[in-house]
Amino acid sequence: MDKLAAHRLRGPVLALLGNMPLSEARALAPAAGYGANAFALVVTDHPRHVQPVIEALKLGGWRAVAVSSRTDLPAAWAGFDQGEILAAAAAAMDVRRGAAVPR
């Protein structure tokens, strides 16, 4: 983390991770603040098992996705875009739900 602090916000931070305990994900989460953007690819054959890790990283500011070892690189990077699309769609749905509520 000291090396990251010395180069704070000079560019993106990329983490290529394997299966890791939730405690390690929580410890790594604040490192997202050292980069202009922070991307985490979690390589696993069991994406559901790493969902708590993904969520902990996202709470720390990472853009995080789970991919398998068989995922090709362009598809893995596209996972970050897919997450943005899903988040934007969810936000749009929230706005529509709120618009129908009488005030």
Where do the structural domains in the chain lie, given as residue ranges? 2-99
The predicted-structure confidence for 19-47, as pLDDT tens digits, reads as follows 899 999 999 999 998 888 899 999 999 88
3 has pLDDT over 80:
no
What is the reported pLDDT for 12?
86
pTM check: above 0.85:
no
The predicted-structure confidence for 57-101, as pLDDT tens digits, reads as follows 999 999 999 999 898 888 888 888 875 534 444 444 444 434 444
Cα–Cα distance measured from residue 14 to residue 32, given in angstroms and rounded to the nearest whole number: 9
Cα–Cα distance measured from residue 94 to residue 44, given in angstroms and rounded to the nearest whole number: 32
Residue 68, sorted as left (phi over 0), alpha (psi -120 to 50) or beta, turns out to be beta
